[in-house]
Amino acid sequence: MEYIPTPEVFSQALYTLDIGQNDFTSKLGEIGIQGVKQFLPQVASQIGETVKALYAEGARTIFVANLAPIGCFPSFLTELPHSQSDLDSYGCMISYNTAVVDYNNLLREKLEEVRKVLPDASVIYVDSHAIKLEIFTNPTKHGFKYGTKACCGSGGDYNFSPQLFCSQRKELNGTVVTASVCSDPSSYVSWDGIHNTDAANNYITNEILSGKYFQPPFPLSTLCDLQPIG
């Protein structure tokens, strides 16, 4: 028999939503930043409706993470059109990261609206963007060596090729090339140009659990039995 949680379990659980990045990036190269911006309010609104739907099922504590600074990802730095003048001092794309911030503001405002109609729920905006931006732009401060360069990949300044993903081996321009893994993944923020390394995820998770990036503040450490990670 399939186990169905009771309403009490639903009300005591912690729900996390970390979604929207694919909506943001899937057509970014095709229609550009301004084209994507047109439907970002709809994405934020849908997340707001999802929070309400979870509430209707009994959820009372819901964390919603914002979008990462995609202008720092090795994959997007390789694939998305940009000029040298669009790169900041850390090597991240200014225009794309600015668009992400615009969306994150929309999401934060939408959650503020949702909070007003769900007064007995804790709807928390988690600023994971700030954490990820910090390790992309200041990797050495946090035990990393490379921010905008992938550990597993092949080619260019960012060690990423859309023709050859992590661990693949194929012939390109008459030469057999392998997208191999770096010798020390823990010194990289980016695993394959798209996803984080375990070390980066460990850092991000610990920072989130610290509660410093919750809006509004939420006493997670006093309500949950938090254990060390890794």
Domain count, the chain: 1
Q: What is the pLDDT of residue 225?
A: 80
Q: Is residue 69 part of a domain?
A: yes
Q: What whole-number distance in Å separates Cα of residue 129 and Cα of residue 100?
A: 9
Q: Is residue 188 part of a domain?
A: no
CA distances from 45 to 19, 22, 68 (A): 13, 16, 18
Determine contact, residues 196/205, Cβ cutoff 8 Å.
no
Q: What whole-number distance in Å separates Cα of residue 130 and Cα of residue 81?
A: 24
Helix or strand or coil: residue 136?
helix
Q: Is residue 157 part of a domain?
A: no
Q: What is the pLDDT of residue 130?
A: 98
Q: What is the pLDDT of residue 8?
A: 82
Q: Is residue 211 part of a domain?
A: yes
Q: What is the mean pLDDT of each run of 10 residues along the chain (230 residues)?
A: 74 93 90 93 96 95 97 97 96 97 98 96 98 98 97 93 88 82 97 97 95 95 76
Q: Is residue 130 part of a domain?
A: yes
Range of the domain at 26: 7-138+196-223
CB atoms within 10 A of CB 22: 8
CA distances from 161 to 35, 102, 146, 195, 208 (A): 25, 28, 17, 14, 31
Q: Is residue 154 part of a domain?
A: no
Q: What whole-number distance in Å separates Cα of residue 173 and Cα of residue 161?
A: 13
Q: Is residue 162 part of a domain?
A: no
Q: What is the pLDDT of residue 40?
A: 94
Determine contact, residues 23/133, Cβ cutoff 8 Å.
no
Q: Is residue 49 part of a domain?
A: yes
Determine contact, residues 218/115, Cβ cutoff 8 Å.
no
CA R_g for the chain: 20
Q: What is the pLDDT of residue 230?
A: 62
